[in-house]
Amino acid sequence: MENFEEILKCISEIVKINSEEGAPAEGAPFGEGAKRALEYFLNLAAGFGFETRNIDGYAGEAAFGEGEEFAVLAHLDVVPAGSGWTHEPFGGEIDYNARRIWGRGTMDDKGPAIIALFALKALKDGGFKPRRKIKLIVGCNEESGWKCIDYYKAHAHMPDEGISPDADFPVIYAEKGILQLKLYFPVCGDFDIRGGERPNMVCDRCTVTVGGKPNTFRGKSAHGSTPEKGKNAIKPALEFLGLDEIAGILFRNGLHMEDLEDETGKLTFSPNIIERNGDVMEVTADVRYPATLTRGDALAPLENAHIRYEIIHEQAPLYNDKNGKLVTTLCEVYNEVTGKNRKPVAIGGGTYARALQNGAAFGPEEEGEESTIHQANEYITFEKIEKCYKIYKLALERLTA
């Protein structure tokens, strides 16, 4: 495979840049780390001969070709490293023995962004002349609000169609709706409770303080859309405090929210941040509801139980035609490269594909493999890099020829 060692090096280098959201500064609306990651990516793309543009630190683009636009949407920001790592989260360690690169962002989403850039480079260097203008757009605020996409749409032109290499193969035809809610529960007693870092990360550490003595409960982080892959530390903390009614609502489907289901799957409910504020316990929960249902359907159980809440973030579902050209072409490419016979799937995760009129998430994860996204010891394998490179190169060629 051409450029393989260079791809390894570039993934490693961009992973070494801690691009967790930080304090805004001039030219760095999401912190210095995100700014450095964006500048690294755009400088790399410019060195390959692509036309590049920095959209005021919010996002960037590398363009190739002319004509009707086609987007590849990826992101360079990352969730916090969290705890439990045995490899440096921002070490970008290239492990030739295990044939993988370790670090936060290797799979979500710096690795796929770099791979897509090299796939474009290979097409350009090979003399490919696309009939469409391919825009590789990278944002810096995907994990915590999408302000990057809002700003990009206001200051640049977002293509109507494209892909986002930030989910699963073979191709995603539907994404559940997203609600991030703050729930309020009245409490009493002499205790304090704190846990969680981000609404879309399963809480891996929760501390309860009673009589001045802290008690720490540990779990395992995972993506908020797949809470079953983690172990939420808030649950044992609530049980320790004897708050069984609240624990039942939050962790034992006490309101029957998780009974809501359609072809895109069941509603998932993940309480990921908790803190006490006076006589009220505030819990931030990540809700992914079936794509054919409405926000009202998802919120009805809370309304019926008279639980006070506020919506702090939301994204409408994405639902594409399984038999449309975009989805069928992407699925065919994946099956051709891998020799499999997979069908389009739906997910609970939310990707930049929602920013497009006709968008589909496309890789890098596959069924049956270990997922480390939003977890400690995130990694990407050499095999995954090679496979994604072939898939993205062929898909871009087929969709823009």
pLDDT score for 311: 98
Dist CA 223 CA 188 (whole Å): 31
pLDDT score for 239: 97
Question: Rounded to a whole number, what is the largest CA-CA distance in the chain?
Answer: 71
CB 78 within 8 A of CB 19: yes
pLDDT score for 2: 85
Radius of gyration for the chain, computed over Cα atoms and rounded to the nearest angstrom:
21
Q: 358 by DSSP, 3-state: which?
A: strand
333 and 275 within one domain: no
389 and 326 within one domain: yes
**Quick check: bond before 244 cis, omega within 30?**
no
181 and 52 within one domain: no
For the domain that residue 71 is a member of, what is the CATH number? 3.40.630.10
Which domain does 40 fall in, by range?
4-175+318-400
124 and 186 within one domain: no
pLDDT digits (tens, 9 = 90+) for 308-317: 999 999 999 9
187 and 125 within one domain: no
- CA-wise closest residue to 380 among 201, 139, 114: 114
pLDDT score for 145: 85
301 and 323 within one domain: no
Among 290, 315, 340, give the residue marking a domain's end.
Answer: 315
For the domain that residue 269 is a member of, what is the CATH number? 3.30.70
34 and 75 within one domain: yes
pLDDT score for 144: 87
Record the pTM. 0.85
pLDDT score for 46: 98
What torsion do the CA atoms of 383, 387, 389, 394 make, to the nearest 10 degrees? 170
**Quick check: bond before 364 cis, omega within 30?**
yes
Domain tally, the chain: 2
List of the chain residues with pLDDT < 70: none
How many Cα neighbours within 13 Å face the side chain of 238? Answer: 27
227 and 212 within one domain: yes
Burial label for 129, CB within 10 Å (0-12, 13-18, 19+), is exposed
β-pair type (167-168, 213-218)? unpaired
- Which residues lie below 8 Å from residue 394, measured CB to CB, with a gap of 6+? 333, 336, 337
137 and 39 within one domain: yes
Burial label for 190, CB within 10 Å (0-12, 13-18, 19+), is exposed
Dist CA 30 CA 16 (whole Å): 17
Dist CA 277 CA 298 (whole Å): 26
Among 288, 315, 342, give the residue marking a domain's end.
Answer: 315
Among 261, 282, 315, give the residue marking a domain's end.
Answer: 315
327 and 268 within one domain: no
263 and 201 within one domain: yes
pLDDT score for 307: 97
pLDDT score for 1: 84
Dist CA 120 CA 344 (whole Å): 24
Dist CA 298 CA 89 (whole Å): 36
Q: What are φ and ψ of residue 187, in 5° steps?
A: -140, 165
CA 277 to centroid of chain Cα atoms:
30
pLDDT score for 199: 94
142 and 38 within one domain: yes
CB 298 within 8 A of CB 289: yes
Going through 153-250 in order, the beta strands assigned E by DSSP cover: 161-164, 167-168, 172-175, 177-186, 191-195, 205-210, 213-218
Dist CA 29 CA 14 (whole Å): 19
